[in-house]
Amino acid sequence: MRYDDSPPPPESASSVSPDRPWYARRSTLAVAVAALAPTALAGWVLTQVLTGSGPGGQPPQPKALPASHTAGAGAGDAKSSTTTPSPAAPASASTSASASAPAAPAKGPLAGRTVVIDPGHNTGNFKHTSEIDRQVDIGTNRKECDTTGTTTNSGYMEAEFTLDVSRRTRTLLESKGAKVVFTHDADRPWGPCIDERARIGNEAKADAVVSVHADGVSAGNRGFHIILPATVKGGAADTSKIVGPSRDLGERIAGNFARSTGSAPANYLGSGTGLVVRDDLGGLNLSTRPKVFIECGNMRDAKDAAQLTSPEWRQKAAEGITNGIVGFLGG
């Protein structure tokens, strides 16, 4: 759920990106790319298109469609078919690299990158309410250290969900070469507090930070949304440098999450964009690294809950988050 019980902010123009609506782009891009994906030759053609032989000369950058994601939802074979054309690179080129380095450095599109994943809440928070209720400084305000999170009507905890999706995401990111740091991994009885969650991302010098959540609002409210940091300044909070890149990260995750899971943007906030800007979350206000929250669905809605409790759906959720991060980091 949202990090507190305060009502969501009024929807403002800042929550919409009228110049770059990812949902308007993705269908045509997905069709075009899917049509081109099957062969390396077609991939070469796509490369020519993207590198701009057109009059503008500026290669388009499909934000919501990283190169590693080559087809629309349901195309199970798409993930492995990253046929990056390399016309001048023979297969033997890899021999020199593999001959050295006994402790092989990470390989993959995210090699050298650090991603911090923040599994929202903690399953132990319910038993430590006095600890998590204490106030912490979020720069612009003071708020509770942490919250319990929500549950489905049948008792599946948000904190279980966030940890599971986070672990699946970690596995995917590490397979692409990233260094992944968790804010917690069920290795502490409660928390961490929201200020510490932000600090972990900052101290890791994360290239991207994603805080994983699911919402807990009334039935009938469905879909996912990404929470982006507003521009805030006060005390230790200064988001001026991360607002732009965080929106980029959020848009990419939104597009990829929609495609990977088949879920729609939330129908109860964000004006259908799946994007919301908030200035009241310590985890965002105190971050100095590009960071977003994702609310993957509404645990209190039966249809959303059926998805959130499905391991297969959670894997798709992790794939969507991962692909968004890969796109953001240019992998």
Question: Which residues are annotated as catalytic?
Answer: 295
**Of the two residues 225 and 259, which places its CB atom closer to Zn ion in the complex?**
225
- Smallest gap from residue 194 Cβ to Zn ion (A): 11
**Of the two residues 110 and 117, which places its CB atom closer to Zn ion in the complex?**
117
- Report how far residue 270's alpha carbon sits from residue 282's, in angstroms, rounded to the nearest whole number: 20
- Smallest gap from residue 293 Cβ to Zn ion (A): 8
DSSP 30-93: HHHHHHHTTSHHHHHHHHHHHT--SSS-PPP--TT--TT--S-TT-TTSTT------TT--GGG
Structure tokens at 281: 């979350």
**Of the two residues 213 and 247, which places its CB atom closer to Zn ion in the complex?**
213
- Smallest gap from residue 183 Cβ to Zn ion (A): 13
Q: Using CB under 5 A as the criterion, which residues of the chain lie in contact with Zn ion when the complex forms?
A: 1, 120, 149, 213
- Report how far residue 233's alpha carbon sits from residue 9's, in angstroms, rounded to the nearest whole number: 18
Query: What are the distances in angstroms from CA 177 to CA 108, 174, 194, 212, 325?
Result: 5, 5, 28, 21, 12
State the residue for tokens 């200035």: 279
**Of the two residues 213 and 300, which places its CB atom closer to Zn ion in the complex?**
213
- Report how far residue 319's alpha carbon sits from residue 169's, in angstroms, rounded to the nearest whole number: 7
- Smallest gap from residue 212 Cβ to Zn ion (A): 8
| 179: exposed, middle or buried (Cβ count in 10 Å: 0-12, 13-18, 19+) | middle
Comparing every residue's Cβ against Zn ion, the nearest one is 213
Runs of H (alpha helix) within the chain: 22-36, 40-50, 94-99, 129-133, 158-175, 194-203, 243-261, 282-285, 302-308, 311-329
Cis geometry, peptide bond prior to residue 55 (ω within 30 degrees of 0): no
- Smallest gap from residue 214 Cβ to Zn ion (A): 7
